[in-house]
Amino acid sequence: MQQLINNPNVISGGPNILSTPIEYLKGVGPVRADLLKKELEIHTFSDLLEHFPLRHIDKTIVGLIKDIRPDTDTIQVAGTLLFSEIVGAGRSKRLVAQVRDRSGILELTWFQGISWVTKLLEPGTTYLIFGKTSFFNGKPQIVHPEIEVFVPAVAGGKPHLEPVYPSTEKLKARGLNGRQLAKLTAQLFQQIRSSDIPENIPEAILQKYQLTSRATAFRQMHFPANPDEFKKALDRLKFEEFFMVQVRMNLVRLRRHRYSKGVAFEKVGELFNQFFHHYLPFSLTGAQKRVIKEIRNDTGHGRQMNRLLQGDVGSGKTIVALMSMLLAADNGFQSCFMAPTEILVQQHHAGLQKLLKDLPVKVALLTGSTKAARRKEILEGLLDGSIQIVVGTHAVIEERVKFSRLGLVVIDEQHRFGVEQRARLWEKADIPPHVLVMTATPIPRTLAMTAFGDLDYSVMDELPPGRQPILTVHRNEMARASVYDFVRSEIDKGRQAYFIYPLIEESNKVNYEDLLQGYEQVKSFFPEPKFRISMVHGKMPAEQKETNMQRFVTGDTQVMVSTTVIEVGVDVPNATVMVIESAEKFGLSQLHQLRGRVGRGSEKSFCILLTGSKASKEALERIQIMTQTQDGFVVAEKDLAMRGPGEIEGTRQSGALNTRVASIVHDRDWLEKAKIEAEELVAEDLTLELAKNLMLRQYLSLREGKTAWSRIS
């Protein structure tokens, strides 16, 4: 009682009881509290409440020792202690005990907490024993079992599901095994009331999906009466988890729509129309039309656009960017078009010039290697407004450029472009420009919804018509000679080829050996002077890299030997073959990005994945997926399923993915439902002022306080 009184949270009473430090729970105290904190990160009542069981066991089901088989995983038996003794010394010192039931004898072993366990054990007493079984010298045993004095179940009693908690060896050795944790949790429910776990989802939504109330769900996660109750509790918490993420994301997105001022591209003017009717060399795909419409809608109303555009390699994002920039120009605004590398920027610049022909739009190219005099001209032109579009590398534009009227920023090939970087661009104009981020890294829908839910989001899931499919095959290294012969036949037809090598990282040192050997090997296969070979890798001086790349782009060299540096965006339509060496060492999305470098022209293209004989099962699975589909979104879904969300490029830092019970891979139904409800709720009540949303609002403001605090500390 004294302890309780000393705890300020308890004195103030009310909603804070869950933030009470764990030592104030009856049965814990300072020593155990220390262990719980160190071993399980359980600091408060609420941490214990959210320390969910791994599974439940039915305590009324007691097995027989004779039924333990080599493939038995865990078992619960009731055995009478025959003896216990300490054997060995030093490191191999252990406590060994034997128990017997009517069917056989079981050995129990402890390596840790020996003195503590010894005190518990009394020969002749019957214990309920639970644990993972193994065999030692042909005899069954359990190492570090959970053990307590056996109380026979009442005959005909109801099944009793007992939670099994994740614990650690150290905790078990100190007597805080799963069963003890269950006792503490039961104690916790004695000390708190249902009203301490207030509802946070509006009633109508609970009704609609038949969701268990929050307080009940927490209780039934730990102590369900039957498996069905547990499942319903789990479903409720999964929905809640997704729902809260989606509400937050929607609040950020819609509040920005409502309150952030943006420049308005009110009219569709001369440049846009001229281009659309007379200059466009093809008709737009349905997806392109849809996205352009979305952008027009976004930018037309005086609120700032923040749009992520995802389109698979070759889906035609550049034209969408261009038409958006023409829209800006029509309304008297400038645009900047940024790409990550100098090569890409040059290609974009040349591409735009070719498309725009004689249209009266001034486009400038600005990179690190722009000559000083030219740079000065461009900077002046941007400042006085005579240049409408500048194409450049991120670094250059961020550092030195000032605009007269910046209205639109397009960022190509970088979905990782962070909020901070965007904010820096906003500073370049009084009213923040619209931002369009384009990426060719397909991201599964569920992942995008979660990781980028605060952005507006468009997908181009359609390739322009008439594309030749890329034939992707898997070959063993042994077949290398025939692969080279094939490449030679393509080059003889006037085409170009890539050979890609992985980089091996050894203790922070990147190893280029394979690449250099590969270069020699390729050279020896194509010895005639008519074959010219470029090589590019990340450690090369930038200038040399550019030169070598440029020679390949212009067709001066027929073969490009490279690491993954060519991964992003490069467009050489005449290249029709890509050989990926040691393909087992690449991830799925990387393979897909690489493959996107071929199949860009009208000729049939090929991607050959070479592997050694040591490829793992998973690597072979990745390669098989590559040979089966060319759809980036399918590849991305498989990648997500194989690796889980935490590993997908560019989403790692997203806090939205740190879900505890829900999984965006396995619970997408709940995610979809949560998204729909969150969107509807936020659209109706952006300030969360309606009475029905009061609890939600309180919940979120408490959580927000928490996050803000953790950021400060």
- Footprint of ligand ADP (CB under 6 A): 282, 284-285, 288, 311, 313-319, 440, 464, 571
Do the Cβ atoms of 570 and 543 come closer than 8 Å? no
User: Running DSSP on this structure, what letter comes out for residue 368?
Assistant: T
Q: How far is the CB of 601 from ligand ADP (least distance, A)?
A: 8
Cβ-based neighbour number of residue 482 at 10 Å: 10
Least spacing, CB of residue 410 vs ligand ADP, in Å: 11
Decide whether 283 or 547 has the Cβ nearer to ligand ADP: 283
Smallest distance from the beta carbon of 311 to ligand ADP, in angstroms?
A: 5
* For ligand ADP, the closer CB: 81 or 389: 389
Least distance CB 642 / ligand ADP (angstroms): 24
Query: Which amino acid belongs to residue 21?
Result: P
Nearer to ligand ADP, 318 or 659 (CB): 318
Cβ neighbours of residue 600 closer than 8 Å, sequence gap 6 or more: 314, 571, 572, 573, 575
Task: Give the number of other CB atoms < 10 A from CB of residue 179.
Answer: 21
The enclosing H or E element of 365 equals strand 363-366
Q: Could you give the CA distance from residue 539 to residue 512 in angstroms, rounded to a whole number?
A: 9
User: Could you write out the three-class secondary structure of 263-283?
Assistant: CCCCCCCHHHHHHHHHHCCCC
Distance in Å, CB of 411 to ligand ADP, minimum: 13
C-beta closer to ligand ADP: residue 320 or 379: 320
CB 613 within 8 A of CB 634: no
3-class state of residue 227 by DSSP:
helix
Nearest to 553 by CA among 536, 530, 537, 528: 536
State the minimum distance, in angstroms, from the CB of residue 41 to ligand ADP.
44
From residue 106, alpha-carbon distances to 73, 82, 119 in Å are 15, 10, 20
Shortest distance in whole angstroms from residue 282 CB to ligand ADP: 4
Please, which residue, 13 or 465, has the CB nearer to ligand ADP? 465
CB of 430 to ligand ADP, least distance (A): 31
Question: Looking at beta carbons only, is 354 or 371 nearer to ligand ADP?
Answer: 354
Cα–Cα distance list, 215 to 19, 199, 237, 585 (Å): 16, 7, 11, 48
**Ranges of H-type helices in 166-285:** 169-173, 178-191, 203-208, 214-222, 227-259, 270-274
Instruction: Provide the minimum distance between the beta carbon of 309 and ligand ADP in the complex, in angstroms, as a whole number.
Output: 9
Closer of 46 and 285 to ligand ADP (Cβ): 285
- Taking the least distance from each CB to ligand ADP, the nearer of 318 and 472 is 318
In this structure, the number of other CB atoms found within 10 A of the CB of residue 626 comes to 25
Closer Cβ to ligand ADP, 145 or 650, answer by number: 650
Indicate if the alpha-carbon torsion angle 229, 230, 232, 237 is positive or negative. positive
Nearer to ligand ADP, 309 or 608 (CB): 309
Q: At what angle do helices 317-330 and 342-356 cross, to 10 degrees?
A: 60
For residue 606, give every residue at least 6 positions away whose Cβ sits within 8 Å of its Cβ, in sequence order, or none: 470, 471, 472, 473, 486, 490, 576, 577, 578, 598
Q: C-beta of 605: minimal distance to ligand ADP in Å?
A: 13
Residue nearest to ligand ADP according to CB distances in the complex: 316
Tell the burial category of 531 from Cβ atoms under 10 Å away from its Cβ (0-12, 13-18, 19+).
Answer: middle
Pull the structure tokens for residue 523: 């050279």
Q: And the tokens for 308?
A: 């992520």
Q: How far is the CB of 332 from ligand ADP (least distance, A)?
A: 26
Closest CB to ligand ADP among residues 350, 431: 350
Rounded least distance, CB 656 to ligand ADP, Å: 26
Residue number, 222 or 597, with CB nearest to ligand ADP: 597
- CB-based burial label for 432 (10 Å; 0-12, 13-18, 19+): buried
Tokens of 628: 């089966």
Give the C-alpha separation, 567 to 555, whole Å.
19
